[in-house]
Amino acid sequence: MPHESSATISAATASTAFGRYRLLFATPGARAFTIGNLIARLPMGMFSVSAVIMIAGARGSYALAGAVTATGLAATAVVGPWTARLVDRYGQARTAVPATLLAASGSACLLLCVHYDAPDWTLFACYAATATTPNTGGMSRARWAHLLRGDPAALHTANSFEQAADELCFMLGPVIAAFLCSALFPEAGTLVGVASMVTGVLVFAAQRATEPPATPRSAGSRSPVRHPGFPALLAVFLAAGAVFGALEVTTIAFADTHGHRAAAGAVLALQAAGSCAAGLLYGSVRPAADVQRRLLGCLAAMTFLMTGPLLAASATGSLLAVACTLLVAGAATAPTMVTGMTLVQRITPDGQLNEGMTLAVTALLGGIATGSATGGWVVERLGATAGYAVPTSAAALALLLCAITRRGRALAPGRPEISPSGA
């Protein structure tokens, strides 16, 4: 039973630091759904890179490739919450499988349209169809929340693992995609990504024993965004996303300015590696009971550490120095996201958890797009070094928003604050 496995985890978490993860995966069914989810999640870091390489190589236009992927991102921001709502209402397996097959069809059509030189508008239509891709990370977190309900310490460890997995997938995905597209053929990254996504979702959906029960929506139910505290939290996610988007664009520009554009991916991977390691370490310690105060502390740390790349770029002009500061700055990323998602789980009403987490991811993606555009604008006009002021400012804005709204953020009815003891 979920409560019995949760109690077992709680009884022994104090023994060793990473023993928490060993005990976490002793939960019946946890390993099986995690394996399937990781297989499905890896392509999330592959698709955009694969599409850009494939389209730019065939059409000779990075502008077209960027516009197509941006259209897909915008479509995902619109469609994603609706897909998550169907997951909550009808269950993960019943919704995720057909949604994944539809998204896979969009990717396959994109590949065919590029290969057979179809009109440009077909590329936009095909890539927009991939917007039905379900939020596999959110579904995995929802399973942990279901299995470990009543045990916040164990759920904290699970959320930390999931964030580390996100960082790992987005660190490895672009590297794998670039290798496949260059070593084999331009369409290889998309093909492998589609096969991996479909296989992973099928394996994940087959684990019915750990699936949260579906919750048919009542006539009076509201979207999570209309519940107290949720819009303010989405604003924090939006600002945090701008940190990541601006950091990526600025780092690529900075590396290019110093004649090391090929090293930009490795430099950004260091930031993801630091975040992955910090996430695993963060999950091995018992968190403070006040989640809102914890989020404020994480954002303060992220704001402070994000000044490192700006200072390194300004004082030394060395890409190596910037890389070292990015590795350190990554240490605040995962704890911030873990704590933010924990708060999302706390204030989202029962039966709407997938929708709530997908809305948070949508805000994050919107922030990434905004940060990318803002960072690019600053780099074009003031230079790559000045661009590092954008992620620092975005982190400070997220901290300010969190501080302003902390007192007014209330827990939603139906999902009360749970004490560490589970009382």
Mutual orientation of helices 291-305 and 333-347 as an angle, nearest 10°?
A: 150
What's the token pair of residue 261? 């554009």
Question: In the prediction, which pLDDT does 1 show?
Answer: 42
Q: End of a domain among 215, 246, 275?
A: 215
Residue count of the chain: 423
Neighbours of 300 (CB within 10 A): 18
In a domain, 44, yes or no: yes
Are the CB atoms for 409 and 233 separated by under 8 Å?
yes
DSSP output for 103-138: HHHHHHHHHHHHHTT--HHHHHHHHHHGGG---HHH
For residues 275 and 338, membership in a common domain is answered with: yes
Number of domains in the chain: 2
Closest to 409 measured CA to CA, from 340, 354, 311: 340
Closest to 248 measured CA to CA, from 93, 379, 77: 379
Confidence of residue 2 (pLDDT cuts 50, 70, 90): very low
In a domain, 284, yes or no: yes
Mutual orientation of helices 353-382 and 389-405 as an angle, nearest 10°?
A: 140
Q: What is the dihedral of CA 260, 265, 267, 270, to 10 degrees?
A: -160
For residues 106 and 15, membership in a common domain is answered with: yes
What pTM, to 2 d.p., does this model score? 0.73
In a domain, 276, yes or no: yes
Question: In the prediction, which pLDDT does 17 show?
Answer: 55
For residues 138 and 172, membership in a common domain is answered with: yes
Q: Lowest mean pLDDT: which of 81-85, 314-318, 346-350, 415-419? A: 415-419
91 lies in which domain range?
1-215
In a domain, 422, yes or no: no
For residues 291 and 187, membership in a common domain is answered with: no
pLDDT digits (tens, 9 = 90+) for 22-74: 787 878 888 888 898 889 888 887 787 788 778 877 877 767 777 787 778 77
pLDDT digits (tens, 9 = 90+) for 372-416: 778 878 887 888 888 899 999 999 999 998 888 765 544 434 444
Q: End of a domain among 181, 215, 249?
A: 215
Q: End of a domain among 165, 199, 215?
A: 215
The amino acid at residue 225 is V
What's the token pair of residue 9? 């985890």
pLDDT digits (tens, 9 = 90+) for 260-286: 666 766 777 787 788 878 777 777 777
For residues 235 and 210, membership in a common domain is answered with: no
For residues 335 and 299, membership in a common domain is answered with: yes
For residues 202 and 242, membership in a common domain is answered with: no
d(CA 411, CA 29): 30
For residues 81 and 110, membership in a common domain is answered with: yes
Are the CB atoms for 69 and 131 separated by under 8 Å?
no
Residue 155: give its domain's CATH number. Answer: 1.20.1250.20
For residues 228 and 297, membership in a common domain is answered with: yes
For residues 52 and 108, membership in a common domain is answered with: yes
In a domain, 291, yes or no: yes
For residues 384 and 254, membership in a common domain is answered with: yes
d(CA 356, CA 341): 9
For residues 102 and 18, membership in a common domain is answered with: yes
